[in-house]
A and B are shown apart, each in its own frame.
Chain A
Amino acid sequence: MSPLEPSRVQRPGAALAVVGRPIAENLRDVVPVAGVVGVFQLLVLREPFPDLGQTLVGLVAVVAGLTLFVQGLRLALFPLGDSMATSFARKGSVPWLLAFAFALGFGTTVAEPALIAVADEAGRARTLSGTGELDGGDYSLALRYVVAIAVGAAIALGVLRILKGWPIHRIIIGGYAITIALTPFAPNDAVGIAYDAGGVTTSTITVPLVAALGIGLSRSIRGRNPMLDGFGLIALASLVPILFVLLFGMAVG
């Protein structure tokens, strides 16, 4: 067991004392980005950095932020997802668990800044072209709700899958087959938004929580294997929105 395991850290003060090692690890995570940008800027484009001081300050902030974030994951998001999964399994109420799964997916997505940006952009393009039944503002709001409902439904479906022990590969392969089959029939701009939506729905806070939830559930339900049943929620959360947005695009034209 590593010394960073949260079970050994009793007080927040103690947590701050052990960030030494992750800083080296997080440097390793960030150095490649700095390296690629540096090489291309200096050797390929042959231009100096416009504001080297600011870039360096930014990089320090990136490394410090990542270090804090990863430490916070181990202290808060992982144990929280885990303990809630165990409590739900003990409570044994499937409807409440599914409601929680839906709320988590819906709530984390509807306010996601990246989604708001994509939806507003789509709404503006629509106002300009003047197509379809909905006007730009309504379209953008409707789109946000469609994607958020899709993510909620995806997490709920994924949780139900863990409870029932359905194999993930049938759902994913089948789902993508339907998605690809629908693509030629959906309007072009909906296709663009749909495939982008799959990418913006998996936010940095949602992913660790949802992963901990799935793994926690598969650990506390007898007969489930965390490796086989615990993963798969994130995959569903990036598949179902594509499907829903394609259908939405076909419905409103």
Chain B
Amino acid sequence: MPVVATSLTAGLAETVRGVLPIFCILAVFQFAVLRRKVPHARRVAAGAVMVVVGLALFIVGLETALFPIGRTMAEQLTDPEFLAGQGATAEGIEWWQYYWVFLFGAAISFATTLAEPALIAVGLKAEDVSGGTVRAWPLRVTIATGVSLSVALSMWRIVVGAPLLVFLIVGYVIVAALTTLAPKSIVPLAYDSGGVTTSTVTVPVVTALGLGLASTVPGRSELEHGFGVIALAVLFPMIAVMGYAQLSVVLGHRTAKRGRR
């Protein structure tokens, strides 16, 4: 308990330091440029305190509960002896023998994306703006599925040493194609969902896994192969959201036709 208490003070100090510039900018523009009082100032102040304390608690909680064990698990799962039995070395391992790494990457990134506070915020906004047509939970599950597939693919890419650029090019061609196909109103939201997924919870865990893998597999440098994980994790949710929207349109048409007969 005392460990949590001291790290909470440190976490709170760090969160305040991160938030301070934002509040200064908001205050300067609100009072010096717009020259208006904040509507419901006391409620906003209370909310701001809740945001800061909440974020500090959240991050300290992650640092005690999730990040250390995540790092240890990343090390253990990428250990050749775990993957191929005792006495095994990294040289003799086939790409498919890393299946636990792929599975863990997919499962943990799916779960961390659902816990991502920025994504919760965007989900709430999307539900509000669309008048309930887009629902927050299915949207977040779709995005998490995209991130999860991207992380599994990235782990495979690191193992076989495939170049990132090819994946990026193919991915963006798919994004461009889906942009013309998918319902117009979902496109901007889909683009935004790429950026929000890679945040507080997902990035540290997934980076640890990528770096662990890049240092185990012979011939992979951490610098060259560790990084592209985030790039693909930004790309895939866009495809997932537009793809899901397009799929529901197609399925909707089919049911509508069947209904008419």
A-to-B contact residues, CB < 8 Å = 6, 9-12, 15, 29-30, 32-37, 39-41, 44-45, 47, 49-50, 54-80, 83-84, 87-88, 91, 96, 100, 103-104, 107-108, 110-114, 125, 168-169, 172-173, 176-177, 180, 183-184, 188-189, 191-193, 195-196, 198-200, 202-209, 211-212, 215, 225-235, 237-238
Q: Which residues of B contact A78 (CB under 8 A)?
A: 121, 124-125
Instruction: Known A-B contacts: A33-B111, A55-B65, A72-B49. Give 7 more (CB < 8 A).
Output: A62-B57, A64-B61, A66-B120, A75-B43, A108-B25, A111-B18, A180-B172
Interface of A is mostly: helix
**Given A29-B114, A227-B189, does the pair A114, B203 have CB atoms closer than 8 Å?**
yes
Q: Tell me whether B188 and A229 are in contact (CB under 8 A).
A: yes
Q: Tell me whether A235 and B191 are in contact (CB under 8 A).
A: yes
Q: Tell me whether B198 and A61 are in contact (CB under 8 A).
A: no
Q: Tell me whether B64 and A189 are in contact (CB under 8 A).
A: no
Q: How far is the CB of A95 from chain B (nearest CB, A)?
A: 10
Q: Tell me whether A65 and B57 are in contact (CB under 8 A).
A: yes
Q: How far is the CB of B48 from chain A (nearest CB, A)?
A: 4
Q: Which residues of A contact B122 (CB under 8 A)?
A: 207-208, 211, 234
Q: Tell me whether A173 and B172 are in contact (CB under 8 A).
A: yes
Which A-chain residue is minimally distant from B205 (CB atoms)?
A33
Q: Tell me whether B47 and A71 are in contact (CB under 8 A).
A: yes
Q: Tell me whether A173 and B175 are in contact (CB under 8 A).
A: yes
**Given A33-B66, A54-B65, A65-B56, does the pair A15, B46 have CB atoms closer than 8 Å?**
yes
- Give the docked Cα–Cα distance between A88 and B36 (Å): 11
Q: Tell me whether A73 and B51 are in contact (CB under 8 A).
A: yes
**Given A113-B14, A228-B185, does the pair A107, B24 have CB atoms closer than 8 Å?**
yes
**Given A64-B57, A69-B55, does the pair A103, B47 have CB atoms closer than 8 Å?**
no
When the two chains form the complex, which single residue of B195, B199, B223, B234 contacts A125, counting CB atoms closer than 8 Å?
B223
Q: Which residues of B contact A29 (CB under 8 A)?
A: 114-115, 120
- Give the docked Cα–Cα distance between A40 and B130 (Å): 38
Interface of B is mostly: helix
- Give the docked Cα–Cα distance between A200 and B233 (Å): 12
**Given A40-B73, A229-B188, does the pair A108, B22 have CB atoms closer than 8 Å?**
yes
- Give the docked Cα–Cα distance between A91 and B33 (Å): 10
Q: Tell me whether A58 and B230 are in contact (CB under 8 A).
A: no
- Give the docked Cα–Cα distance between A39 and B66 (Å): 14
- Give the docked Cα–Cα distance between A205 and B117 (Å): 9
Asked if B254 is at the interface (CB within 8 A of a chain A CB), the reply is: no
**Given A58-B66, A83-B39, A211-B192, does the pair A33, B108 have CB atoms closer than 8 Å?**
yes
**Given A12-B43, A230-B129, A232-B191, does the pair A195, B231 have CB atoms closer than 8 Å?**
yes
From 54 to 81 in chain B, residues with beta carbon under 8 angstroms from any chain A beta carbon are 54-66, 69-70, 72-73, 76-77
When the two chains form the complex, which single residue of A74, A76, A100, A198 contacts B33, counting CB atoms closer than 8 Å?
A100
Q: Which residues of B contact A184 (CB under 8 A)?
A: 165
From 95 to 143 in chain B, residues with beta carbon under 8 angstroms from any chain A beta carbon are 100, 104, 107-108, 110-112, 114-115, 117-118, 120-122, 124-126, 129-130
When the two chains form the complex, which single residue of A15, A108, A195 contacts B230, counting CB atoms closer than 8 Å?
A195
- Give the docked Cα–Cα distance between A168 and B66 (Å): 37
Q: How far is the CB of A199 from chain B (nearest CB, A)?
A: 4
Interface 0/1 of B4-48, CB less than 8 Å to A:
100010000010011111101110111001101011101111111
- Give the docked Cα–Cα distance between A226 and B126 (Å): 10
Q: Tell me whether B172 and A40 are in contact (CB under 8 A).
A: no
Q: Which residues of A contact B227 (CB under 8 A)?
A: 191-193, 195-196
Which B-chain residue is minimally distant from A206 (CB atoms)?
B22
- Give the docked Cα–Cα distance between A37 and B65 (Å): 10
Q: Which residues of A contact B233 (CB under 8 A)?
A: 199
Q: Tell me whether B39 and A79 are in contact (CB under 8 A).
A: yes
The 10 closest A-B pairs by CB, nearest first: A58-B65, A76-B47, A75-B47, A68-B54, A65-B58, A61-B61, A65-B57, A72-B50, A69-B54, A58-B64
Q: Tell me whether B64 and A55 are in contact (CB under 8 A).
A: yes
Q: Tell me whether A37 and B108 are in contact (CB under 8 A).
A: yes
When the two chains form the complex, which single residue of B29, B47, B108, B192 contacts A77, counting CB atoms closer than 8 Å?
B47
**Given A71-B47, A113-B18, does the pair A91, B192 have CB atoms closer than 8 Å?**
no
